Amino acid sequence: MSPVIPRRGLTLSVLVLAAVLASVWRLDLIAAFAEGQDSLGELFGFLQRFAAPDTSPAFLSKVGQGAIETLAISLIGTLLAVLAGVALALPASGRFGRLGQTASRFMLNLLRSVPELVWATLTVLAAGLGPFAGTLALALHTTGVLGRLYAEALENAPPAPETALRGAGSGAVAAFLYGTLPAVAPQWVAYGLYRWEMNIRMAAILGFVGAGGLGAQLYYALSLFHEARAATLIVAMLLLSLLVDALSGWLRRRLVVA
């Protein structure tokens, strides 16, 4: 006597199937495949030209420079965001009264709700093309994300150690450093490293809107149909993000767990 759940599953399946069929019909996918024999061949040809990456030393050294630039953008952008995130998280956790909390939370929401790519188009306009604009864009968005997480960590930290130190005559800053920081520091570091992993990927993309690094080179290569160069750049991006993942994982194990 339990026909309810199977019937619901059936309804759901029918609805999903209908949605898929409607999408295929709406996008004219069948017609596109039917008349697209040569466009499919074109696609394979395009992909084939990616199979042989450009490995000339001159180009590789240029890619290397781009990779270093991307790494620097992500690292400095994230570091700036960690500092600004802490600076905003302290008032956002309610340490400096109601007004400071409301103002800093509004700031964090604003910074966070604008995506990196939108920030980058703005910073490119404001600061000109190049890595500085990319760094700034990453720092702005990441500050919003980290500041909120940092503030939550502060709110969840047990208050007793800091209160006890204040009760024994310690100044506010010293009491925070000795009482609350040990509880939140591992989380702060872990969040910062995690955002760094995300930002290395984002730094590679930001070049598309003119904010420097590997992304800018990839954008030029694709615009000029240099598929071999584009392939080299994509591999470089992949290696770079693997490297950062490994590095951040190693740091996390050293700093957070130990």
Where do contacts with another protein occur on this chain (CB under 8 A)? Answer: 158, 160-161, 163-171, 173-175, 177-180, 182-183, 185-186
Neighbours of 8 (CB within 10 A): 10
Burial class (CB in 10 A: 0-12, 13-18, 19+), 173: exposed
Q: Nearest distance from residue 158's CB to another protein, in Å?
A: 8
Residue identified by tokens 């864009």 is 137
Q: Nearest distance from residue 245's CB to another protein, in Å?
A: 25
- Find out whether 233 and 223 touch, Cβ atoms under 8 Å: no
Tell me how far apart the alpha carbons of residues 36 and 124 are, in angstroms, rounded to a whole number: 39
Residue closer to another protein by CB (options 32, 164) is 164
Q: Nearest distance from residue 11's CB to another protein, in Å?
A: 52
Cα torsion for 218, 246, 134, 214, to the nearest 10°? -20
Which amino acid type is present at position 102? T
Q: Nearest distance from residue 165's CB to another protein, in Å?
A: 6
Residue closer to another protein by CB (options 45, 182) is 182
Residue closer to another protein by CB (options 129, 181) is 181
Residue closer to another protein by CB (options 53, 179) is 179
At a CB cut-off of 8 Å and minimum separation 6, what does 119 contact? 136, 137, 138, 140, 141
Residue closer to another protein by CB (options 118, 255) is 255
Which amino acid type is present at position 64? G
Residue closer to another protein by CB (options 126, 160) is 160
Q: Nearest distance from residue 221's CB to another protein, in Å?
A: 47
Residue closer to another protein by CB (options 175, 202) is 175
Tell me how far apart the alpha carbons of residues 238 and 234 are, in angstroms, rounded to a whole number: 6
Which amino acid type is present at position 231? A
- Find out whether 195 and 142 touch, Cβ atoms under 8 Å: yes
Q: Nearest distance from residue 147's CB to another protein, in Å?
A: 22
Q: Which ranges of the chain would DSSP assign to H, the alpha helix?
A: 4-27, 29-35, 37-48, 57-92, 97-113, 116-127, 131-156, 160-167, 172-175, 181-206, 214-223, 227-252
Q: Nearest distance from residue 101's CB to another protein, in Å?
A: 21
